[in-house]
């Protein structure tokens, strides 16, 4: 009964927070906790019906552990695919690095504990706490990113802001084309007054022209009216994409809700940033090549953790304290 009550409480917190603003990462926290307690309540109910269902408790424990190693293997394989298709780069090697870390962390921690050294055992405890925290944070981020990306957007935006990404030889690559095609789909689907299109992106050091110029050229070639396309050609980050696009629209006297168009892996972070900048916007995602998605989500997760570093530091401080207490206790123990 307690699990059911707690599950319903957190489900209520999720709905209240979601109704207030669905661009909050805490919505994902409430949703994950609610799902956990409701799953436990379901298991309690099944066991009461028939004790044979007791074995499901073992499944709940074993499946997450097995999933960790399956996930690590998947990341290693994806890293090989990334290197083969994209060439050697930090982005390509990221899945392999994370996969190796996921494999080696529990093995190293186990060896530290077996060593009988209090300091190494304390480090192992700290590593366990931090890995558990990062794992839960990643599940929250990934789960809510998938939920948010499937939400319906405003049917009549005043403008659609398309976030830029890198050009290849001055031309629009497939990743960016997917964003532009999504924006055109929205543009063509709104009647009678079509929204303005704002391709946003400055010129990188390795680019022959601003991203916005190539994006506008693509949009017009695909049927958008040139007068409906407003270039924002200064932004170099997602924050600047949002801020400069809003400033450009305000300068043109265009007001109303905005839609921000990016790729599906980038949707949640763009939504979080728009909320932080107090911009009245929703974010929609375009499809991404499947092999590219794991690496992209990992990069977005790292960026979100960095954007919320103060909160993460505060939440992790007690873990350092507990690990220190464990170390001191083992040092004073006659067992070690």
Each residue of 282-329: pLDDT tens digit?
999 998 888 888 888 888 998 999 988 899 999 999 999 998 998 888
Distance from C-alpha of 273 to C-alpha of 238, rounded to nearest angstrom: 8
Is the CB of residue 129 less than 8 Å from the CB of residue 323? yes
Domains annotated on the chain, with CATH: 2-149 (no CATH), 159-292 (3.40.50.620)
Query: What is the tens place of the pLDDT at every residue in 246-265?
Result: 999 999 998 888 999 999 99
Quick check: 58 pLDDT over 80? Answer: no
- Of 166, 167, 173, 189, give the one whose Cα is nearest residue 259: 189
- Residue 58, strand partner residues: none
Quick check: 278 pLDDT over 60? Answer: yes
- Of 63, 139, 132, give the one whose Cα is nearest residue 102: 132
Distance from C-alpha of 174 to C-alpha of 165, rounded to nearest angstrom: 10
256: its two tokens: 């109303």
Quick check: 116 pLDDT over 90? Answer: no
Supply the pTM of this predicted model: 0.85
Residues 6+ apart with CB under 8 A from 138: 301
Neighbours of 34 (CB within 10 A): 20
Confidence at residue 334, expressed as pLDDT on a 0 to 100 scale? 54
Q: Mean pLDDT throughout 30-40? A: 91
Q: Mean pLDDT throughout 107-112? A: 83
At residue 286, the 3 state secondary structure works out as strand
Rounded (10°) CA dihedral 106, 108, 109, 111: 120
Query: What is the tens place of the pLDDT at every residue in 142-195?
Result: 889 988 888 877 778 899 999 998 888 888 999 999 999 999 999 988 767 789
Quick check: 229 pLDDT over 80? Answer: yes
Confidence at residue 191, expressed as pLDDT on a 0 to 100 scale? 65
Distance from C-alpha of 259 to C-alpha of 280, rounded to nearest angstrom: 9
Confidence at residue 75, expressed as pLDDT on a 0 to 100 scale? 83
Question: Which alpha helices (H) appear in 255-308, and where do they start and end?
Answer: 267-276, 293-307
30: its two tokens: 């409430």
Quick check: 335 pLDDT over 70? Answer: no
Distance from C-alpha of 267 to C-alpha of 261, rounded to nearest angstrom: 8
C-alpha distances in Å from residue 86, one per residue of 90, 179, 321: 11, 20, 43
């Amino acid at each position: 009964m307690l699990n059911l009550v707690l599950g319903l409480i957190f489900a209520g917190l999720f709905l209240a927070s979601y109704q207030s603003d669905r661009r909050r990462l805490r919505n994902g926290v409430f949703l994950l906790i609610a799902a956990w307690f409701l799953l436990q309540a379901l298991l309690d109910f099944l066991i009461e019906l028939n004790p044979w269902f007791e074995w499901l408790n073992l499944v709940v424990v074993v499946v997450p552990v097995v999933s960790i190693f399956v996930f690590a293997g998947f990341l290693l394989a994806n890293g090989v695919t990334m290197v083969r298709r994209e060439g050697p780069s930090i982005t390509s090697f990221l899945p392999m690095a994370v996969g190796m870390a996921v494999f080696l962390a529990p093995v190293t921690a186990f060896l530290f504990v077996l060593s009988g050294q209090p300091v190494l055992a304390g480090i192992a405890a700290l590593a366990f706490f931090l890995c558990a925290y990062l794992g839960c944070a990643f599940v929250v981020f990934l789960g809510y990113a998938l939920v948010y990306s499937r939400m319906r957007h405003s049917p009549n935006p005043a403008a659609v802001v398309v976030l830029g990404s890198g050009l290849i030889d001055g031309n629009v690559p497939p990743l960016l084309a997917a964003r532009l095609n999504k924006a055109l789909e929205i543009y063509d689907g709104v009647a009678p007054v079509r929204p303005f299109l704002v391709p946003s992106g400055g010129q990188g050091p390795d680019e022959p022209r601003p991203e916005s110029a190539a994006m506008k050229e693509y949009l017009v070639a695909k049927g958008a009216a040139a007068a409906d396309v407003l270039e924002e050609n200064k932004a170099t980050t997602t924050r600047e994409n949002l801020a400069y696009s809003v400033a450009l629209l305000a300068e043109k006297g265009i007001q109303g809700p905005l839609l921000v168009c990016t790729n599906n892996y980038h949707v949640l972070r763009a939504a979080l940033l728009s909320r932080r900048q107090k911009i009245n916007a929703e974010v929609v995602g375009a499809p991404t090549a499947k092999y590219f998605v794991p690496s992209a989500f990992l990069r977005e997760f790292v960026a979100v953790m960095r954007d919320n570093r103060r909160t993460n530091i505060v939440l992790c401080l007690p873990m350092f304290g507990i690990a220190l207490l464990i170390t001191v206790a083992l040092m004073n123990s006659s067992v070690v």
